Structure 1
Amino acid sequence: MHRGKGMKFVGDSRIKANHRMPNVPKDYSEYPGKTEAFWPNFLLKEWMVGAVFLIAYLILTVAHPSPLEGPADPTRAYIPLPDWYFLFLYQLLKYTYASGPYNVIGTVIIPGLAFGALLLMPFLDKSPERRPSKRPLPTAFMLLTLAAMFYLTWEAVANHDWEAQKVMGAIEQEVKVTIDESLPGYKIWTGETSDAAQSCIGCHAADLKGGPAAPKLLGNTLTADEVEDIIHNGRGKMPPGVFKGTDEEAKQIAEFVASLKEDK
């Protein structure tokens, strides 16, 4: 007798089974396009997709190794970055209504709404359809989220170096200074005629834009006598006796620094 639908079987524990049922997936022919066997159909698809992404990631790692940052430079600011998967939140906190007095919006409300919507998605979207084209709203929200994350991450990386330079005053868009390269002090500063300015460059930087221990010299409002007095007697964090050149060289450098006024 063949097994069929509607037939029931009664087992007896006193009778030892002589055969085992073959390990075959259930018959899903009654539900065409609605579901499929987990093993091997669904699981095999998952493994194939995972293998493609893994191989692509390994190729990317070999072809484009992680870049090392430049050597330590005390004259430049260093702004630490969070891990790459948090960069979009890091960039979000730079905008007006997500930082400062509105910090709670960028740190709690917006991420809370995003993750809350993700957790509630199984309850909000109960459609049996699996194709993205048949589920326009969830698909649109997911694409919008991915686009926002990609854009914010890109902005965080692209603007990082510029922001670090801005913190140190290396980018001065508002201050324009014309440097008179004919002055003897300029030639001393560049090392063309003397090495006397090496002690100055160590703190104020060769480009005159300053550093952690010294202010920028571009756009200063000091007179030549005031600069010469600072060179000999010091001021603030600058102690006296740092300059190792002659008095004449100090005078020439003072005249050069005093000439670095903002253009009118």
Structure 2
Amino acid sequence: MVTPTYQIVPLADQGVLIDCGETIDIEINRWIDAAARAVRVAGIDGITGIVPTYRSLAIEYDSVMVTQRELISRLGQLVGALRVSHRRCRRWRIPVTYGGEFGIDFDDFARRHGLDREALIALHTAPDYRIFMIGFMPGFAYLGGLNARLHTPRRDSPRTQTPAGSVSVGGQQTAVSSVEAPSGWHLLGRTPVRTFAPERQTPVLMEAGDSIRFEPIDSERFTALRNDRDWLPEWEWIDDGRPSP
């Protein structure tokens, strides 16, 4: 892939940002993912945190161990030589119950786009969605790949509380929420998957770079899966968003 245009700039007094601009793009996101992995492997003294987003990478550091100027120089050398290669990632099969009490905006959303129930579900479940980033709250997955026909501005009046597991659309994105929280997105359905569970050995189930495929289920299946505290969704290895041979 072509290396995106980027700049490395200070981020407050103990942070540095590798910034690729404002565009949401899968190739830029793959480059950010590769940069994050390269920084982790490099083991630069003083780095205390690495936070990848859609199109930037925040690096936190201990200023006693490394100066900002030194870190920017090291990062410049590292990402300047970066080569992005395909990597194995997980594709999760995420069950969703659409509409009714599980997706209170589903009917209005369908009417807005001139779709019946089956057509809306078909459009929303068709893509393999890339997890562009985990953020906003623990385990909240921002997904890229939403069909352009479903792009919809966020609600004029955000709700002060929405259920954990909500599957929603906001702008050109769709997402899976992890905990009860305010939201201005359109709620299409809900998944029984607990994407964040602090008692698990790995509290956040999925990670940036993984892929998601939604699968519709009925309310009875939702209840059964939600009540099974040991249940986890199925997944398979794929090659960076493409099925492995």
Question: Aligning the two structures, in what range does the TM-score lie when normalised by the shorter sequence?
Answer: under 0.3
Normalized per residue, which structure has more strand?
2
TM-score, scaled relative to structure 1: 0.18
Normalized per residue, which structure has more helix?
1
Structure ranking higher on relative contact order (CA contacts 8 Å, 6+ apart): 2
Structure with higher Rg: it is 1
